Chain A
Amino acid sequence: MTKRRMPWDNTLPTPLAGAAIETHAKVSPLDGDAFAGFYERSARPLWAYLARVSANPSLADDLVQESYLRFLTADRLPDLAAEGEQTARRYLFRIGSNLLRDHWRRPHTEQLDQAPEAAFTQETEAGASDVRMLLGPALQQMRPRDRQLLWLAYAEGYSHHEIAQATGLASASVRLLLFRARRKMAKLLGASERNKA
């Protein structure tokens, strides 16, 4: 089957648009159109995850771009047709999680478990609509790691095994950490409800 490429391939300078691109087309199971479709379906959930966990929409913008770049330049890119889009999406979330972890590991930034709660109290564009609702105030009091686990489990509907793959934690650890996070979140939600009432 002949693979069609996106028209923007033509915008590459001539020396770049030659052999290297052809090589990529042979290696990659994704062509430009397939990628555009996959991007449209997966970019928003990925952005939501990264923005919510980092509480930093600008950082999420950068991380989303970098996640897709790494996804496309990976040695073994998941085949959307053969392996299914969910596999590719989980792989993308894993890249995003790793980038987030790298960001937190840098010396000039906060550590994952030491980020101040105040960093998550700012009302972002993404959170503006639901921060007034029940979840916002409760989320502000959770640690980033707990937010990460809760988001993957309850917003994305991932299983423990899939969360473990995305975060690099052991499945048993995910189970325990998620259990604790869920308890804490439920208490906070209950308290928010009572306060609201």
Chain B
Amino acid sequence: MRLEGCARESELKQALESGQWPLACTGELRAHVEGCPSCKEQVALSSAFRQARGASMAAAHMGSPGLIWWRAQLRRRNQAVERITRPLLGAQVFALAVMLLAALGWIGYRLSQQADPIGMLKRLPEWFSVRLATLSAAGVADAGTGWLLPMVLLSAIVLLGSVVVYFSSDRN
């Protein structure tokens, strides 16, 4: 398949774009176009598409540039705010991950100390209720070393809460 068109197509294209075709063109170019199928094709297509372009442009209903400008300013500002708060969110997520890992590590450590880890897991709800009862009855200071897990859980909830607050307020 030959992709090369006529050698005079670029000259014709220029004439079409500048509006010189057909009246302001040389008679020689017009005669060439009459006898050249490729150039004839170009003239037919260009004329048809330019007519269609003119009709479409006349029918276009344009919005206000002021409104677009204003929306762009808002979007730009939101993008800037998002860029600024992204590291903060990253830090929060990182802190949450560290806390969760610490909690998991602690639970793993406690399980490894038990002769029957599966049994301990089954007794976990009972253990929690006992701990909570101890805390509510005697206060955190008297709860001995059992304060660690509730504190870790509380910290995790607080951190998770801050992430949720971030997403619900700043993002929206």
A contact residues vs B (CB 8 Å cutoff): 6-9, 11-12, 16, 20-21, 23-24, 32, 35-36, 39-40, 43-45, 47-48, 51-52, 57, 61, 64-65, 68-69, 72-73, 125-130, 133-136, 138-139, 150-151, 154-157, 175-176, 179, 182, 185-186, 189
Contacts and interface: CB of A to CB of B under 8 A. Distances in A.
Contact of A45 (B48, B57, B75, B77): B57
Interface centre among B41, B46, B58, B72 (most CB of A within 10 A): B72
How would you classify the secondary structure of chain B's contact residues: helix, strand, loop or mixed?
Answer: helix
Contacts, number: 134
B35 interface: no
Contacts of B41: 182, 186
A156 B48 CA distance: 12
Contacts of A65: 63, 68
A126 B60 contact: yes
Interface of B: 1, 3, 13, 16-17, 41, 44-46, 48-53, 55-63, 65-77, 79-80
Given A69-B71, A125-B59, A157-B17, A6 B44 contact: no
Contact of A12 (B61, B63, B70, B79): B70
* SS of A interface (majority): helix
Contact of A69 (B48, B52, B62, B72): B72
